Amino acid sequence: LKLLQDRILKEGKVFPGNILKVDSFLNHQLDPNFIKEIGAELARRFSDQKITKIVTIEASGIAVAIMTGLELNVPVIFAKKHKSANMGSGIFNTTVKSYTRNTEFVVSLSKEYLNADDKVLIIDDFLAVGQAALGLVDIVRQSGASLTGIGIVIEKGFMDGGKLLRQQGIRVESLSVIKSFQDNQVIFED
Ligand code: 5GP
């Protein structure tokens, strides 16, 4: 997506450890009109599916997910992060390792909002090693809902997440795929 690539090139900052910061429009300050366009494009790519729910993870996936949900006219559920497992029969739990923070946390979602009749689209801002996405896939599987696919704003194509998910037969749509960071410059795949 051209407008996204242009924005990343203009405002993205590369940090040690292959971290891209896009805090001026996506991860700290949020640009509503821009994210609305991102959401509309993700919705367009999955418009052939009869999606009933969008699932994302707090906090950075929520903005994109809500704009996608607005376009598809479906509810958006964000999985919540905890330090330890949330007990109780009413909750789906899964464990996720954080690549950016180098920690492990439990992610949970209430059984009230996801069931076997649902057709789910997973949305997140970044795809790196795929831990966050795999955690959400695990929760969707626990619920018995069908997974339609995963929509990502920025995929780091030089990391294994995308490969891992696609190998499982999951449809992954990324609006931009980064090939590499060269001298702190972002190089995109075509
Ligand atoms: P994964 O689990 O695929 O390794 O990473 C996905 C999560 O880590 C995303 O939800 C995102 O919040 C965060 N993340 C991974 N790489 C980056 C990055 O380069 N920049 C930012 N801002 N977040 C990232």
Helices (H) and strands (E) in the chain, counts: 5, 10
Supply the residue whose CA is at minimum distance from atom 5 of ligand 1. Answer: 128
Q: What is this structure's pTM? A: 0.96
Q: What distance in angstroms lies between residue 103's CA and the mean position of ligand 1's atoms?
A: 13
Supply the residue whose CA is at minimum distance from atom 9 of ligand 1. Answer: 126
pLDDT at 123: 98
| Residue whose C-alpha is closest to residue 79's, from 113, 127, 102, 45 | 113
Sequence length of the chain is: 190
The answer on pLDDT for 170 being more than 90 is yes
Q: What distance in angstroms lies between residue 61's CA and the mean position of ligand 1's atoms?
A: 10
Supply the residue whose CA is at minimum distance from atom 23 of ligand 1. Answer: 126
| Residue whose C-alpha is closest to residue 35's, from 63, 10, 76 | 63
CA dist 130 and 127 (Å) reads 6
| Residue whose C-alpha is closest to residue 93's, from 143, 130, 56, 160 | 143
pLDDT at 103: 87
pLDDT at 42: 98
In this prediction, residue 160 has a pLDDT band, given cuts at 50, 70 and 90, of very high
In this prediction, residue 67 has a pLDDT band, given cuts at 50, 70 and 90, of very high
If one residue of 24, 100, 164 were mutated to test the ligand 1 pocket, choosing by the most ligand atoms within 8 A of its CB, it would be: 100
Q: How far is CA 105 from CA 16, 74, 99, 101, in A?
A: 23, 28, 11, 10
Q: What distance in angstroms lies between residue 156's CA and the mean position of ligand 1's atoms?
A: 9
pLDDT at 7: 98
In this prediction, residue 190 has a pLDDT band, given cuts at 50, 70 and 90, of confident
Q: What distance in angstroms lies between residue 126's CA and the mean position of ligand 1's atoms?
A: 5
If one residue of 22, 125, 179 were mutated to test the ligand 1 pocket, choosing by the most ligand atoms within 8 A of its CB, it would be: 125
| Residue whose C-alpha is closest to residue 106's, from 91, 84, 89 | 84
To which H or E segment does residue 83 belong? none
Q: What distance in angstroms lies between residue 6's CA and the mean position of ligand 1's atoms?
A: 20
pLDDT at 82: 87
Contact call for residues 27 and 19 (beta carbons, < 8 A) = no
To which H or E segment does residue 118 belong? none
Specify the ligand 1 atom closest to the Cα of 23: 22
CA dist 27 and 157 (Å) reads 20
Q: What is the pLDDT of residues 78-129, one digit of tens each?
A: 999 987 776 678 999 999 988 777 889 999 999 999 999 999 999 999 999 9
The answer on pLDDT for 142 being more than 90 is yes
Q: How far is CA 30 from CA 61, 100, 122, in A?
A: 12, 20, 20
Output the six-digit token pair for 139: 């929760």
If one residue of 126, 136, 155 were mutated to test the ligand 1 pocket, choosing by the most ligand atoms within 8 A of its CB, it would be: 126
pLDDT at 149: 98
CA angle 39–42–47, rounded 5-degree value: 115
Supply the residue whose CA is at minimum distance from atom 19 of ligand 1. Answer: 19
Q: What is the pLDDT of residues 9-59, one digit of tens each?
A: 999 999 999 999 999 999 999 999 999 999 999 999 999 999 999 999 999
